Amino acid sequence: MTNFISAFALAKHFQKYYNVPVKIKVELLESVTGEEYVIDGIKYYKNLNTIKDENGLTIKDKFFPYFKDLLDKLSKKDEINYEILFFYEYQKNPLVKQSLFEVLESKDKINYTLDPKNGEIRLRVPCPKCGLTEKHLSKTKIKTNNDSIMIESFCPIHGSFKTKIDKDSDSIFDMNVPLRYLVKILYLLKQDKVDDSLNVIVDGGDWSGMWPLRVYMEPLLKMKISDVPSVIYTPTILDWSGSKLSKRMYVGNEAYREYLKEGLINYSEFYNQYGEVGFERLYNEINSWVLSPKKFIRDYTIEYIDAILKGEKINYI
């Protein structure tokens, strides 16, 4: 919620301040690990597009309405248009595939930056029949050839299969986080030039720090690209100990429940506990952050957010 409200607040501010048209693209990832398996000693996963719950809904379809609800609400309130782009749609863009191709062509320069342990460029393809995908590149082989990428993959149930990626292909592929991020940056720098726009990434503050320096600035330099992407980091929400309130720990786990209200970690409970007035308070608070660097370029604890939601008076020091 912090990230989405911030993005809309920033868009609204830029539109007014620079008097330019602004649009938000919400990029959602359905290609992340839903379940993991070890078969014959090799790690595989199925992603959120494939895994289904007891009602036959994919994880993606189950949780998407909550995102849409919040985004529609912000779009209406802030009068900013938005579009949702899932990863498997995004990657159909020829510029994205071209960016991936360029990364693979520079493999020998950047592979140990993207994967310091094994030097793998982790591009992988889900089995078209069952969705099993190799986590590492144990049996996956990748080659570039003229303007296309050839991938040989292996499913422990359905055997080997080949995938070609080029500007006309529509076969899906997955990338691990560093590779995905670097390709995204390259793609946005290209897109800016194509349509004379400025793409600005609005990302949670936990992606700042060493991550951008090592994961894309260093590879960009090694690929002799001197353009710099525009990224704005939104405040990270911390737990009482100063650690990031971790999504990985509260989704599906009992983490935080012993001392935090469910409405602070579960959007479907948010309105039951804090009501529409709680949303308005959070919205107003975050809209005031983006206008003041000292409020925006910092982190907040979940206790602070709780106080805001309850309408407690807070005096800034």
**Would you tell me which residues interact with Zn ion (CB under 5 A)?**
127, 129-130, 132, 155, 157-158
Query: Would you tell me how many other CB atoms lie within 10 Å of the CB of residue 101?
Result: 20
Q: 62: helix, coil or strand?
A: helix
295 touches 269 (CB < 8 A)? no
Return d(Cα 93, Cα 27) in angstroms, integer.
13
Closest approach of Zn ion to the CB of residue 155, in Å: 3
The β-bridge partners of 300 are 237
Closer CB to Zn ion, 104 or 132, in the complex: 132
Closer CB to Zn ion, 132 or 201, in the complex: 132
HSE of 126 in the Cβ direction (CA atoms, 13 Å)?
24
Closer CB to Zn ion, 44 or 233, in the complex: 44
Closer CB to Zn ion, 134 or 203, in the complex: 134
Closer CB to Zn ion, 123 or 127, in the complex: 127
Residue 246, token pair as written in the block? 């971790």
The β-bridge partners of 85 are 27
Closest approach of Zn ion to the CB of residue 158, in Å: 4
Closer CB to Zn ion, 123 or 132, in the complex: 132
Distances (CA, A) of 170 to 49, 69, 116, 189: 16, 30, 31, 23
Residue 72, token pair as written in the block? 């529609």
Question: What's the DSSP call for residue 129?
Answer: T
Closest approach of Zn ion to the CB of residue 132, in Å: 5
* CA-closest candidate to residue 251, choices 7, 45, 32, 4: 32
* CA-closest candidate to residue 217, choices 186, 262, 248: 186
Return d(Cα 243, Cα 236) in angstroms, integer.
9
Closer CB to Zn ion, 71 or 132, in the complex: 132
Closest approach of Zn ion to the CB of residue 115, in Å: 25
Return d(Cα 123, Cα 103) in angstroms, integer.
11
What is the largest distance, in Å, between two alpha-carbon atoms of the chain? 63
Closest approach of Zn ion to the CB of residue 126, in Å: 8
Closest approach of Zn ion to the CB of residue 159, in Å: 8
Closest approach of Zn ion to the CB of residue 129, in Å: 4
